[in-house]
A and B are shown apart, each in its own frame.
Chain A
Amino acid sequence: MMMNGKERIRKAFKVQAVDRIPWIPFVGVHGAFLAGYKADEYLQSADFLVNGINKAVEAYQPDGIPVCFDLQIEAEALGCQLAWSPDNPPAVISHPLAGGKSLDILPKFEKSSGRIPLVIEATKRTRAAHPDIAIYGLITGPFTLALHLLGTDIFMMMFENPDYTNELLAYTVEISRQMAGWYLEAGCDVIAVVDPMTSQIGPDHFEQFIHEPISSLYKYIRENGGLSSFFVCGHAQQNIEVMCKTGPDNVSIDENIPLDYVRDICKRYGISFGGNLQLTLVLLMGTAEDCQKHALECIDTAGETGFILAPGCDLPMTTPVENIQAITTLVHDPYQRDVVRALEKTAEEMPILDLAEYGRTEKVIVDIITLDSESCAPCQYMVEAVREVTPHFEGLVEWREHSIKNLDGVTFMSSLFVKNIPTICIDGKISFVSQIPPKQELIRAVQKRINEKLKLKIREKHGKIVLAGTREELKEIYDKAKIAILELGAHIEIETISGEEARRLYGISQTPAWINVRNRIKSEGTEPSIEVMREWIKALL
């Protein structure tokens, strides 16, 4: 049974079986990029936020989406000054409690403070527009908010004035609780408590200062019908276990922490987990293929239940759309996962097929690379199309299906540089990718190759010399050959071609090479397949 995104997230949070891996792209300022705004204007307008979210939902078909990824909202409302940037979330640049001032100086925190009305409105509109996906309300975790308010003195305060530290954290967690309440009221399904600063302390300090306030926060979220996620960015490996002990429904981590490590600990605590997609190296700077490969690694490591695929943190603003869409495809399309998996294997261990074979046989060979035509509908149609067309050529054309579920198929795929499934190759050349060609087009393509081969044969009758290799390699050979032809008084043409071409046309694997086109080389350095041998023998009869 197909679940909707919201159900899928809910189940995954409860570590129950799901129909497929749930997927949450953490779109923050990346939404501004999608909708064509600057980061600062985006984060200060409910309309812009809603536009960005709608674009993200459309482009990435997620199971859940955050409303606003900005950990400065609460701090701003409490009097911290912000430095705005066109391509990043804003930064806190002043700390009202610096030096350890009394909490009494802070303004009252209300639903009408700062940008809170704006994000609540955006939440309500997102809820109404997307009833079927999980809406995430992201709140600043109590320790990170404490850093905003006090500055880095917070670290030394933990040693020098534990009472003040406790008082401050009791205050900041109350702010978190209020934010959580407002987000839940506005329709959020999940409250993500984002507390990256906790990555900078050890487990002892965590237990001493963070455990109690944050545990009470998760309890509150649960009692009010929400799901909770403990979200850290950064090197928080030392704290995963103490984080689990605070009792969130989910722990979300970034690339700094090995996923299997988190998986094992979370499993022990019966808590779901998520994240881990590499933000910079892969999502921002990698290719779509890198992204798919990496996402699959995460899925394979994490396992099927209790895992939510997501970036490690806020997506960099200018992350290429096609990279995130590639992950969407991977999540939604089980074939794609097999393709990526098969390709993965090819990278290291696959022997490379000798493409020379195509130059040697008399027939034109049509290869169809499929997942396998029984289980993949598009593959089946493609095979059908080829099967239907071959009789037109009366034995001149031979077709073969290569399922990448077998080693043979994978070898073909990598040797012919095929990237998508299904693909048709004609004599080793990628000709139709993913789309089923109309009959006439397929016939035309095959005919073209037959003509090419025929022309070659006609030329063979006259006889010529073909030299294959790079210009440097051939320089001397060419000159000498010219002299020899002159000396013999023969009328023989010399043609030069690249090594690549020689490989396809004549089956040459090393250059420089000399080919007498009348007496064609049938094999060189490799064992031809039995089909190919049969063709050669027939030609001799």
Chain B
Amino acid sequence: MTHEEILKMLAICVERGKVNKNAPFPPDLRDQDGADELAKHAIDQGITADVVLSEGLVTGMTAIGIKFRENRVFVPEVLMAAKAMTAGMAHLRPFFQSGAITHKGALIIGTVMGDLHDIGKNLLGMIVEGAGWEIIDLGIDVSADKFLAGLEEHPGAYIGLSCLLTTTMLNMEKIVIDIKASKPDAKILIGGAPVTDDFRSKIGADWYSPDPQGAVDYLNGQQT
């Protein structure tokens, strides 16, 4: 396989959720290499880690992110793609650690206090990670203090808040106010089913998007 073919196949495996050779899914790719093997193969073939990331993993995740946004695939498909991406990403970890490749930046994510829904927040993490960003996931039921502690540890990181309940929208507001009070420069993204852009401007957050792809667009736009 040429380099180009390896990267193309890697992107396809991510998009279609083909984790590794043993994975039974998707049936038409049975017994073929998956994201795991292909990422390793790419590195072994001398393709640089940043190219494996951007032209393999990120390309695949972006493709599924767009299909999800357009309602052409649903939660299970994205979760499978993310699982494949994670398998491929494992081979890039040493390069991140050595500094050979760097993330575009970091996003600290969490579902706000009082809220236990995490499917949407996890998808956000996976899709943004799949776009080349580092994700620090604080989980569910997260307080302002925890987000602030996260910022201490990862200065300059963006923050992504998720909430699914109308009752916890109030907590989201409080968290945004608290974060902005101690870190006025922090950039906060918000989302979740009941959230709207009106609500965002009301509570003084920086960006709202109905889907993770919109968060990627915003974050990538902030880079330049």
- Stretch touching chain A among B33-41, B67-75, B153-161, B171-179: B67-75
Decide: B76 and A87 in contact? CB cutoff 8 A.
Answer: no
Decide: A152 and B74 in contact? CB cutoff 8 A.
Answer: no
Shortest distance between the CB of A285 and any CB in chain B (Å):
8
When distances are taken between beta carbons in the complex, the residues of chain B under 8 Å from A235 are 71
Binary contact readout A218-251 vs B (1 if CB under 8 angstroms, 0 otherwise): 0000000000000000110110000000000000
- Stretch touching chain B among A155-163, A393-401, A407-415: A155-163
- Give CA–CA (A316, B166) in the complex, Å: 8
A36 within 8 A of B: no
- A 302-341 contacts with B by CB, 8 A: 316
Decide: B83 and A156 in contact? CB cutoff 8 A.
Answer: yes
CB < 8 Å: which of A83, A88, A156, A238 contacts B74?
Answer: A238
Decide: A201 and B116 in contact? CB cutoff 8 A.
Answer: no
Decide: A201 and B74 in contact? CB cutoff 8 A.
Answer: yes
Decide: A200 and B119 in contact? CB cutoff 8 A.
Answer: yes
When distances are taken between beta carbons in the complex, the residues of chain B under 8 Å from A91 are 116
When distances are taken between beta carbons in the complex, the residues of chain A under 8 Å from B119 are 152, 200
Shortest distance between the CB of B121 and any CB in chain A (Å):
11
Tell me the nearest residue of chain B to A160, going by C-beta: B25
B80 within 8 A of A: yes
Tell me the nearest residue of chain B to A87, going by C-beta: B167
Shortest distance between the CB of A352 and any CB in chain B (Å):
28
Question: Size class of A's contact patch?
Answer: 20 to 34
- Give CA–CA (A73, B76) in the complex, Å: 26
B101 within 8 A of A: no
Shortest distance between the CB of A82 and any CB in chain B (Å):
11
Tell me the nearest residue of chain A to B118, going by C-beta: A152
Tell me the nearest residue of chain B to A155, going by C-beta: B76
Decide: B71 and A280 in contact? CB cutoff 8 A.
Answer: no
- Give CA–CA (A28, B54) in the complex, Å: 49
A155 and B73 contact, Cβ closer than 8 Å, known pairs A88-B165, A160-B23, A200-B119: no
Decide: B24 and A160 in contact? CB cutoff 8 A.
Answer: yes
Decide: B17 and A201 in contact? CB cutoff 8 A.
Answer: no
When distances are taken between beta carbons in the complex, the residues of chain B under 8 Å from A234 are 193
Tell me the nearest residue of chain A to B77, going by C-beta: A202
- Give CA–CA (A200, B122) in the complex, Å: 14
When distances are taken between beta carbons in the complex, the residues of chain B under 8 Å from A202 are 73-74, 76-77
- A 196-213 contacts with B by CB, 8 A: 200-202, 205
- Give CA–CA (A85, B165) in the complex, Å: 13
Shortest distance between the CB of A345 and any CB in chain B (Å):
27
When distances are taken between beta carbons in the complex, the residues of chain A under 8 Å from B193 are 234
A284 within 8 A of B: yes
B194 within 8 A of A: yes
A200 and B23 contact, Cβ closer than 8 Å, known pairs A83-B116, A88-B165, A284-B166: no
A93 within 8 A of B: yes
The count of chain B contact residues (Cβ–Cβ below 8 Å) is 24
Decide: A159 and B80 in contact? CB cutoff 8 A.
Answer: yes
Decide: A205 and B167 in contact? CB cutoff 8 A.
Answer: no
When distances are taken between beta carbons in the complex, the residues of chain B under 8 Å from A87 are 167
CB < 8 Å: which of A93, A205, A280 contacts B116?
Answer: A93
B136 within 8 A of A: no
- Give CA–CA (A159, B26) in the complex, Å: 8
- A 22-75 contacts with B by CB, 8 A: none
Decide: B76 and A238 in contact? CB cutoff 8 A.
Answer: no
Binary contact readout B100-124 vs A (1 if CB under 8 angstroms, 0 otherwise): 0000000000000010101100100
Decide: B80 and A205 in contact? CB cutoff 8 A.
Answer: no
- Give CA–CA (A152, B122) in the complex, Å: 11
When distances are taken between beta carbons in the complex, the residues of chain B under 8 Å from A152 are 79, 118-119, 122
Binary contact readout A151-187 vs B (1 if CB under 8 angstroms, 0 otherwise): 0100110111000000000000000000000000000
When distances are taken between beta carbons in the complex, the residues of chain A under 8 Å from B17 are 159
When distances are taken between beta carbons in the complex, the residues of chain A under 8 Å from B167 are 87-88
Shortest distance between the CB of A102 and any CB in chain B (Å):
20
Binary contact readout B122-160 vs A (1 if CB under 8 angstroms, 0 otherwise): 100000000000000000000000000000000000000
When distances are taken between beta carbons in the complex, the residues of chain A under 8 Å from B77 are 202
Tell me the nearest residue of chain B to A161, going by C-beta: B24
- Give CA–CA (A158, B73) in the complex, Å: 14
A201 and B83 contact, Cβ closer than 8 Å, known pairs A160-B24, A280-B166: no
Decide: A200 and B74 in contact? CB cutoff 8 A.
Answer: yes
Decide: B74 and A159 in contact? CB cutoff 8 A.
Answer: no
When distances are taken between beta carbons in the complex, the residues of chain B under 8 Å from A200 are 74-76, 119
- Give CA–CA (A202, B75) in the complex, Å: 8
- Give CA–CA (A234, B119) in the complex, Å: 14
- Give CA–CA (A159, B24) in the complex, Å: 8
When distances are taken between beta carbons in the complex, the residues of chain A under 8 Å from B75 are 155, 200-201
When distances are taken between beta carbons in the complex, the residues of chain A under 8 Å from B166 are 280, 284, 316
Tell me the nearest residue of chain A to B193, going by C-beta: A234
Tell me the nearest residue of chain A to B166, going by C-beta: A280
Decide: A280 and B194 in contact? CB cutoff 8 A.
Answer: yes
When distances are taken between beta carbons in the complex, the residues of chain B under 8 Å from A158 are 76
When distances are taken between beta carbons in the complex, the residues of chain B under 8 Å from A201 are 74-76
CB pairs A–B below 8 angstroms (18 shown): A83-B116, A88-B167, A152-B119, A155-B75, A155-B76, A156-B79, A158-B76, A159-B26, A159-B76, A160-B24, A200-B75, A201-B75, A202-B73, A205-B74, A235-B71, A238-B71, A238-B74, A284-B166
Other than the known A160-B23, A202-B74, what 15 A-B pairs have Cβ atoms closer than 8 Å? Answer: A83-B116, A87-B167, A93-B116, A152-B119, A156-B80, A159-B26, A160-B24, A200-B119, A202-B73, A202-B76, A235-B71, A237-B71, A238-B74, A280-B194, A316-B166
Closest 6 CB pairs of A and B: A155-B76, A159-B25, A200-B75, A202-B74, A155-B79, A91-B116
A interface residues, Cβ below 8 angstroms from B:
83, 85, 87-88, 91, 93, 152, 155-156, 158-160, 200-202, 205, 234-235, 237-238, 280, 284, 316
